[in-house]
A and B are shown apart, each in its own frame.
Chain A
Amino acid sequence: MKQFTYTITDPVGIHARPAGLLAKAAKALDSTVTIAKADGSKSAAATKLMALMGMGIKTGETITVTVEGGNEEANAAAMEQFFKENL
């Protein structure tokens, strides 16, 4: 299992478009990717668009991304890159 944290800089938070892109990117990986709020109150699989949007993650919020199974090393790096570029 690989984990990293990321603080959202996009002013609208995880809104529809990046959530859609995230779901698409996560589906392409052979790991299970889970997004959780820092306080652990909510979490969702990164492949689930509506659940992601439903978390209501705002700008400035820190999330924990967990990558399990498959090529964890490379997939975690790919996810980290994705967040930096899109959120």
Chain B
Amino acid sequence: MQVATGKSILNGIAIGPLRIYKKAEVQTSQTSSLTPEEEWKRFEAAKEKAQEQLGGLYDKALDEVGEDNAAIFEIHQMMLDDDDYLEAIQGIIDTQGATAEYATETTGENFSAAFAAMDDEYMRARATDVKDISRRVVNILTGAGDAAMQDDQPAILVADDLTPSETVQLDKSKLLGFITRYGSSNSHTAILARTMNIPALIGVDFDDSWDGQTAILDGYNHCVYIDPAAELLETMEAKRKEDLKQAALLQSLKKKPNVTLDGKEIKVYANIGNAGDVGLVLQNDAQGIGLFRSEFIYLESEDFPTEDAQFAIYKRVVETMAGKKVIIRTLDIGADKQAGYFNLDKEENPALGYRAIRICLTRKDIFKTQLRAILRASAYGTVSIMFPMVISVREVRDAKEILEECKAELRERGVAMGEVEVGIMVETPAAVMMADELAEEVDFFSLGTNDLSQYTLAIDRQNPKLDNFYDPHHPAILRMIKHTVQAGHRHGCWVGICGELGADQKLTKTFLKMGLDELSVSPSAILPLRKLIRGLDLSQEEE
């Protein structure tokens, strides 16, 4: 057995024969017997054909991997129309009497080398894109096609490098995974692999003797085992089957409503802690984002993040969710979440201290910057705003008044906005007791069960000595949830849970019976929860 390491693109396992793919060496003759004008005409015709092919690839990618990932082929089309690129090709044809294919190949190499020399990893990865478009034109000009990349046997494809167009053209039913010598985790090929859910390793120094041998591609451990021992093969096969089960669960639930056997429906949303988690939200087929913890933007920042910087992040998340609901919780800093530049005083009792909405209502400048950024992002999808740590009606009215000020300012600036729902976190006993009055002020409630449990039971969850006293299913908490749901519904609010309790499968049936409208849980908890919901029957009495 031989082990080689690389960099994993996707946590997954592939087992099967390796197949090494070598690109055909294209023979291009340098000197042309035609006039430069004739050569340029040949180039233009080939370019047009290449544009057509790229259009076709765009459509195929759009179908398979979505608009964001398909955009690369649109960019290829634009690159192929780039003035500098075209001028360089024409220059070589004119001054050297060269063939169109030679001029294209040389220009492709020169531009690609320029990108490869940049100090930015993302831009270095673009070198492949330039090569890809140049090769496409050269192949059209010479009539050469690349050797078949795949045969009838499903295999793990091994190549020096794969271009985005090669990746999209691969027959997924015969592709177990792929391994490349070059490439970066930033390349479009890597992004496509992730989207298509294909285990892949890059940066692997492979050997021609691998061709045809059985191998395990272990994406979790960034390595590939060539001719593995039977024992390892067995373990990895079991692990792979586990992955498949999860994937099958996803397949079986994708796009299906979350309805119990007797017809009760509930929304299952995802909680996210930073913009990068959006991928997980989509992978797990959540119906929306029920809690976007905006404080990460502040915690990862050295100084107060600007309106534009925040807007860019919200917009990206909202756009990626493509019209599905995104509930952004406004700044919840203080207590255990501190950012130095806020200069908050040290407190005796931070959990009961100066935090969340209390900071926002006294530091209006910070609050308004965030609200304007959120409102601007609302033009790009469906956005809701949620205020944390509320205890009184006055706070909600004040926050809404500031929100209206922000809307007016943006309107004056002529900025587009969408309709924005306003809600609050119900995470203090006070908010539960005041739920009727609060419900008059807002569109929705989201129960923050972590803080609500801590405040209701007077138990600090960080203190291990209290574990014996802590009961997450304490009737006091369940009654509070029930009270909140009923009060909310009386006044036309929808009510959800975004705390840990939402993912507690022992309570799912109870929550459904209480009439909760939404559960927002971590992305990995979504599928198991949805499966459970679809198997429940509320009309059946408990045994």
Contact = CB atoms under 8 A, between A and B. Distances in A.
Interface string A27-70: 00000000000000000010111110110101000000000000
Given A50-B79, A53-B126, A54-B118, A9 B308 contact: yes
Contact of B111 (A15, A17, A50): A50
B55 to A, nearest CB: 15
A13 B123 CA distance: 10
A12 interface: yes
Contacts of B71: 17
Contacts of A24: 78
A86 B242 CA distance: 41
B120 interface: yes
- SS class of chain B's interface: helix, strand, loop or mixed? helix
Given A15-B122, A16-B72, A84 B308 contact: yes
A45 B312 CA distance: 25
A58 B83 contact: no
A51 B84 contact: yes
Contact of A20 (B78, B115, B118): B78
A9 B126 contact: no
Given A16-B75, A53-B115, A48 B84 contact: yes
Contacts of B82: 23, 48-51
A74 to B, nearest CB: 15
B129 interface: yes
B114 interface: yes
B84 A17 contact: no
Interface in B193-224: none
B84 A20 contact: no
A50 B308 contact: no
B312 A10 contact: yes
B130 A50 contact: yes
A65 B72 CA distance: 26
B119 interface: yes
A64 B382 CA distance: 34
B436 to A, nearest CB: 42
A16 to B, nearest CB: 5
B123 A56 contact: yes
Best-surrounded residue of A7, A15, A53 (most CB of chain B within 10 A): A53
